[in-house]
Amino acid sequence: MNLRMVVTFQRDPNDWLRKYSPREWLSVSMKELAQAEAAFAVNRARTATTACKRAAGMALNAALALEPNIAWGRTYVEHLVAVSQDQSVPSEVRIACRFILEADGPTPSVVVLRTRAKDHRVVEAVRDIQAHAYAIVVRHE
């Protein structure tokens, strides 16, 4: 069932989704991704992967502000989980969401072997999601 509809954006400082315009969501997403890249550069994997999830979720907020879809949930991780299974989005975006969700940093009980190449793929997955959200924003302008 497709739960998506199209709306005209109207700012609402009291609404979690409408406090920023779609372009502002993309901007904060890019800033968050820059923080993730900086964290990866100094081997702070947990911080970096968390920032990647936030960056991807913020980009998806840009799309949600214009094409609401209650199935995508409210939190950044809920967005990623839902989009990873949403057949109405391009397969590359679904794959990118899955890759980001699986890219968790080390925990006290689990050590994840990391490589610069894998870290770069996580960043590129976020960029794929940002590009998808940007295309939706541009389509509505």
Choices 1.20.120.330, 3.40.50.2000, 1.20.1250.20, 3.30.70.660: CATH for 22-139? 1.20.120.330
d(CA 13, CA 118): 38
Q: What is the pLDDT of residue 2?
A: 46
How far apart CA 30 and CA 32 sit, in angstroms, is 5
Location of structure tokens 């989009």: 83
How many Cα neighbours within 13 Å face the side chain of 63?
25
| pLDDT reported for residue 58 | 98
What are the residue ranges spanned by the domains of the chain?
A: 22-139
Between 8 and 5, the higher pLDDT residue: 8
49 to each of 54, 62, 113, 120, how far by Cα in Å? 9, 20, 14, 11
What integer pLDDT is reported at residue 115 of this predicted model? 84
What pLDDT score was predicted for residue 9?
A: 81
For the segment 48-63, what is each residue's pLDDT rounded down to a tens digit?
999 999 999 999 999 9
Q: What is the pLDDT of residues 10-32, one digit of tens each?
A: 889 899 899 999 999 999 999 99
Q: What is the pLDDT of residues 66-114, one digit of tens each?
A: 999 999 999 999 999 999 999 999 999 999 999 999 987 556 666 666 7
